[in-house]
Amino acid sequence: MASIVRRGFGIEPKGRLRAGLGLPRLSRLSLRPAALENSLLGRLPRGAGIAASILFLGSFAAYGMVISGSTKRVVNDFSTEVGFGIQVVRISGQRQTSEQEILDLLGVSKHVSLLLYDVDKARNRVKAIPWISEVSIMKLFPDKLAVTISERVPYAIWQPDASVEPAIVDESGDIVATYVDPRFAGLPRVIGVGAENRAGEIKDLFSSVPTLRSRIKASVLVSGLRWDIFLTNGVRIMLPERDPQRALEEVARLDRESGLLSKSITTVDMRMSDRMVVRLTDEAKTWRDEMLAAEAKARKREQRA
């Protein structure tokens, strides 16, 4: 998103507005003497005056930096009076970052000379915003600043543990926001110390099981070794440390064929390579025990008969 921001500047006393931005218009001579027309100065190309001003002020600014801060203020004030104050800031590339936040960190106004403006310090201030990965700042003489922003891409929602508020991280695991905007609620949620750096593993796992992807609530990294997947209906899938992809695909296949994950179960344990262990809910276990007891009684009656 690109924008052009014009700072609101007041009218200088006894001055005429230049381009409506509050700078006094420099007076011009109404007549040019013939001697000047024929002189070397009279034959200077258009724009030479601005170039000479920049050269002069730049040299004076360097000298002022050596001498004292007051000299710099004199150079700054003079250069803004002759048209080098920052009047326009063009910002592009930002989507998640507030434009006003960027402007505040840039610290620009018509009273700041474009000649003396420290681009490196400004870039470092803006780059400190967590969303921002890169910043480019260009001076466009005589009075404009062009700022191009590159932002980090939200990749996952991360919590070190359930007691900590979630944060949004990028693909490298760096936190970009401590508030989870509803727009990002669909991002994979990973929990556990170190899980923020391994969110890519979860995306790869889910890519092969599209029928399960929309039913996954969170993925918990256990002891930094393996993943437990929690579904929206409360079922927990315990994946092995080795080849979790194969295990998850097997669970997805059984769910397609028999509706495994919709049954009255709490856990599907896939940690052992040669078997799957399914734990029933308390209600299902009670019902199962009652059914087995009833079947045992029926067999005893048949034997007595």
Stated as kind and residue range, the H or E segment containing 89 is strand 88-92
Residue type, 236: R
State both tokens at 210.
Answer: 């599209």
Q: Can you tell me whether residue 58 is helix, strand or coil? A: helix
Diameter of the chain measured on Cα atoms: 138
Long-range contacts of 156-159 (CB under 8 A, 24+ apart): 156/187, 156/188, 156/189, 156/190, 156/196, 156/199, 156/202, 156/203, 157/184, 157/185, 157/187, 157/188, 157/189, 157/190, 158/189, 158/190, 158/191, 158/195, 158/196, 158/199, 159/189, 159/190, 159/191
- The pLDDT tens digits of the residues spanning 93-110 come to 999 999 999 999 999 988
Q: Can you list the alpha helix ranges (DSSP code H) found in the chain?
A: 34-38, 48-67, 69-79, 99-106, 119-127, 199-207, 210-213, 244-258, 282-304
pLDDT of residue 152: 96
pLDDT of residue 21: 39
Q: Are 142 and 86 in contact (CB under 8 A)?
A: no
Q: What is the Cα–Cα distance from 54 to 142, expressed in whole angstroms?
A: 9
Got the DSSP string for 110-160?
Answer: TTSBTTT--HHHHHHHHHTSTTEEEEEEEEETTTEEEEEEEEPPP-EEEES
3-state helix, strand, coil in the chain (%, to 5): 40, 20, 40
Q: What is the Cα–Cα distance from 138 to 210, expressed in whole angstroms?
A: 46
- The pLDDT tens digits of the residues spanning 157-168 come to 999 988 899 999
pLDDT of residue 108: 93
Long-range contacts of 172-178 (CB under 8 A, 24+ apart): 172/197, 173/197, 173/198, 173/199, 174/130, 175/130, 176/96, 176/130, 176/131, 176/152, 177/96, 177/130, 177/131
Map out the domains of the chain with their CATH numbers. 3-151 (3.10.20.310), 198-284 (3.40.50.11690)
pLDDT in tens, the chain (305 residues): 555 554 444 333 333 333 333 333 333 333 343 343 444 444 545 555 555 555 555 555 455 444 456 677 877 887 788 888 999 999 999 999 999 999 999 999 888 998 889 999 999 999 999 999 999 999 999 999 999 999 999 999 999 988 899 999 999 999 999 988 999 999 999 999 999 999 999 999 999 999 999 999 999 999 999 999 999 999 999 999 999 999 999 999 999 999 999 999 999 999 998 999 999 988 767 766 666 777 777 777 777 76
Cβ count within 10 A of residue 301: 8
pLDDT of residue 110: 85
CA atoms within 13 A on the CB side of 191: 14
